[in-house]
Amino acid sequence: MYLVNSPDAAGFMELMATDTGRKVALGDKAKFNGAAFNAIGFAHNAIAETIPKVIALAQDPTRTTVDQHHAARQLAGKVSTVLEQSQASIEAVARELGNEGNQLIADAFALDPNRQVIHAEMRGWIREQVSKPDGIMKIREAAKGHSEVVAVLYGSPHFLTELSPDTRDKIIVDGFQRFAPNGWAKIQHSQELTGLAAKYPEAISKVHLFFYNRELASQANRRVEV
């Protein structure tokens, strides 16, 4: 049924022939918009339109085995080009969203240099609370009600507050979500797209691995034209 006769090849071809399988490997465009939506859509279409052609090649009585694999290699090359372009577009959107999100976070939690004395007192208060039984709870409550407390934590190394890195980070992230939700959403969106783009090289590799046999396809290069 397939040019590459192996369980892995059959599994890949069957998976990528379905919308659900493509969503796993290439992402679900419905979750995104703009350039990311388009890039994922192009990737889906390239695979969806090419899989039937590769399957048909295996049953083509007018082609030799070498010709079948050579043609499949050409199809794989076209699909790979689309997937590479989609990956690049997704990565570009991820970078843009990450930059926008980081800037929104930076703007929301910028420390006013005219309040350095107050900030020093805040750090001192935080250090005092760390050693108390209910101190961490009080720090969390203060951070929930005052973005400036979050800004001080964000702008200070953990050792200046004596908070553990993990506790500090959790309080800061809660502050991002509370006081800069748009910036945090962009960062989360960016990270999701970065993770999605990281899947594409594997899909590209499998296209070349399972669409055709490289050794057979390469024999077409030895054809003598008369």
- The per-residue pLDDT for range 161-171, each reduced to its tens digit, is 999 999 999 99
Give the residue from 90, 99, 88, 76 showing the smallest Cα distance to 28: 90
pLDDT (0 to 100) of residue 221: 75
pLDDT for res 225: 64
Same structural domain, 96 and 114: no
For residue 226, what pLDDT band results from cuts at 50, 70 and 90? low
User: Stretch 146-168: mean pLDDT, rounded?
Assistant: 94
Is residue 1 assigned to a domain? Answer: no
Q: Is the domain of 60 the same as that of 119?
A: no
| Nearest-angstrom CA–CA distance, 118 and 210 | 64
How many domains would you assign to the chain?
A: 2
Query: 129: alpha, beta or left, given left = phi > 0 and alpha = psi -120 to 50?
Result: alpha
- Using DSSP's 3-state secondary structure scheme, residue 103 falls into helix
pLDDT of residue 224: 54
Give the pLDDT of residue 222. Answer: 73
Residue 184 lies in a domain: no
Mean pLDDT within 165-187: 97
State the residue range of the domain holding 143. Answer: 110-179
Q: How much is the pLDDT for 158? A: 86
Structure tokens at 59: 């049953």
- Cβ atoms < 10 Å from Cβ of 107: 10
Residue 203 falls inside a structural domain: yes
13 shares its domain with 76 = yes
pTM over 0.75: yes
Place of tokens 């050794």: 215
Looking at residue 165, its pLDDT comes to: 94
Planar angle of CA 50, 51, 54, nearest 5 degrees: 90
Instruction: Tell me: do 134 and 117 sit in the same domain.
Output: yes
